[in-house]
Amino acid sequence: MKLKKILVTIVALSVIGCVKIPVVERPPIILSGSSKENNVDIDTNISQDIVLDFKSDKWWTALDDNSLNSIMDLVLKNNKTLEISKLNIKKAEEGIDLARAGRGLDVSLGGDSQEIYSHDKFSNLSQIGLQTSYDVDLFGKVGNLIKQQEYQKSAVELSSKQVELNLSYQVTKIYAYWLYLQTEEQNLLQRRNTLSEIEKMEKNKMNLEKGTKDSLLVIQELENNTDILIETNKSNKNIVKNTLYNLVGSINSKDIDQLLAGTQGKDFFAIVKNIQISSTINSDVIRNRPDIQYYMEIIKSQESKLDALKTTFYPSFSIGGKVSYSTLNIADLFTSNGILGLIKPSVYLPVLDSGKIKSNYKIAGIDLNIFIEQYNRAVLDSYKDINEKLLKYNSEVRIHEETMSNLNIKQEVLNRSKKRMELEKSSKREYTQDYYNYLVYRQSNEQEKYVMLNYKIDLVNSIGGLYTK
């Protein structure tokens, strides 16, 4: 009968001790499902006669460039930022183990010695023993805390994937720039040699009193300007090397030097041809971007935290125990006569801390809404970013078509100039000048091609991968 009264009292106190859970209003999540209402595909205004597959993992391998693949492997293996990301993953794994430890017993070993005054004398009370406690998880608090850490780990992994994507984008742009600089260097050397020929011809004309000093000065100025461009080109190539050294975590790297040396004669524009653009970019592509997925995992983690905090609105139960040796004579401390045992159940009533519990829950709810809005902002920014990149790329394609048409005209003009020279209808000096002008325009065309390549690589980074045949 007494036990029944105790149980009824505990149940009554538990019901009275509960606290009402506040309502957390949540904003809607963009692209939260696969229904048509949630999907907004992007029309690229580019026609495609074939079906393309989307590739995100190791997307650069689809460019079919062994030198790029080797440089990328070197960077991803040694980059310090990526190494930090991997360490954060290990840290998150330990967080999961720590959360799981919440299901176990808390055990501690303790002891003390006290002087007790009794009956006009001091006695020494010594004791040593084990203390333990166990929290009864009736409402799944520990399980939700474990889920929270698991989602946190998934978010950290996605963050690491985003670091890898950013690195691959950066390395590809640097590599393309290196190939462009080699093309530029070759063009500048050809122009410099051509100007030297023109200078000799002009000096010969002056010796024959057919040339002018003004014409010679113009040519020499062009030579000086070309020399400056050649030096700038060398400086830019060294900057590229230093950037790659930094990405592989080194002050200098013979491996990078050897890989770059093996790219001599490669056409940077060949990379463009292997980057396909679909006629539409599906919403799933945006939804699966690492940065977008990262926020989704953070949202799930925060939801699990809220579920764990909900359990604090209900009473919690724990069982404590203690086993110790205690004696007034330290010599008899470990004898059987000195053993003491204690079992101590306890109930925590949240109503006593309702203000703090509600505030913690509301703060967590606000954090959840912040993460949702950050996710929504990231989705909207993704659409904006992709659309802007597409506009720039499509515009550059039209510019490139015009420059290619003009280059063909320049080539035709040069061919006709050569024929006139061969027919002795014009001088070699005139043809050489036409050839120099052609080289200048051809490099301008190469710059346009490089700009178009950059926009394509930017688009790859925006959608988190590329389309392949």
Task: Please tell me the pTM assigned to this model.
Answer: 0.82
Percent of the chain at pLDDT above 90? Answer: 43
Cβ neighbours around 107 below 10 Å, total: 11
Which pLDDT score, from 0 to 100, does residue 35 have?
Answer: 45
pLDDT at 212 over 90: no
**pLDDT tens track for 2-57:** 555 555 555 555 555 556 777 778 888 886 554 455 556 666 666 555 566 777 88
Cβ neighbours around 450 below 10 Å, total: 19
Nearest to 135 by CA among 8, 402, 319: 319
Side-chain-facing half-sphere of 286: CA atoms under 13 Å: 27
Do 145 and 306 touch, CB atoms closer than 8 A? no
Q: How far is CA 460 from CA 4, 35, 109, 381, 449, in A?
A: 70, 26, 59, 15, 17
Residue 393 corresponds to which amino acid? Y
Cβ neighbours around 111 below 10 Å, total: 12
Q: How large is the average pLDDT for residues 451-464?
A: 88
Side-chain-facing half-sphere of 129: CA atoms under 13 Å: 19
Which pLDDT score, from 0 to 100, does residue 408 have?
Answer: 93
Q: How far is CA 256 from CA 72, 77, 247, in A?
A: 10, 13, 10
With tokens 């460039």, the residue in question is: 65
Terminal-residue alpha carbon distance, the chain = 80
Burial class (CB in 10 A: 0-12, 13-18, 19+), 184: buried
pLDDT at 332 over 80: no
Q: How large is the average pLDDT for residues 116-141?
A: 72
Question: 141: helix, coil or strand?
Answer: helix
With tokens 């396909």, the residue in question is: 276
Tokens standing for residue 350: 């949240």
Which pLDDT score, from 0 to 100, does residue 110 have?
Answer: 67
**pLDDT tens track for 390-417:** 888 888 888 888 989 999 999 999 999 9
β partners of residue 467: 54, 276
Do 300 and 151 touch, CB atoms closer than 8 A? yes
Residue 305 corresponds to which amino acid? K
Percent of the chain at pLDDT above 70? Answer: 83
Which pLDDT score, from 0 to 100, does residue 319 have?
Answer: 82
Do 176 and 464 touch, CB atoms closer than 8 A? no
**pLDDT tens track for 135-181:** 777 778 889 999 999 999 999 999 999 999 999 999 999 999 999 99
pLDDT at 373 over 90: yes
Do 188 and 226 touch, CB atoms closer than 8 A? yes
Mean pLDDT of all residues belonging to the chain: 84
Q: DSSP character for 426? A: S
**pLDDT tens track for 185-195:** 999 999 999 99
**pLDDT tens track for 222-278:** 999 999 999 999 999 999 999 999 999 888 789 999 999 999 888 878 877 778 777
Do 56 and 398 touch, CB atoms closer than 8 A? no
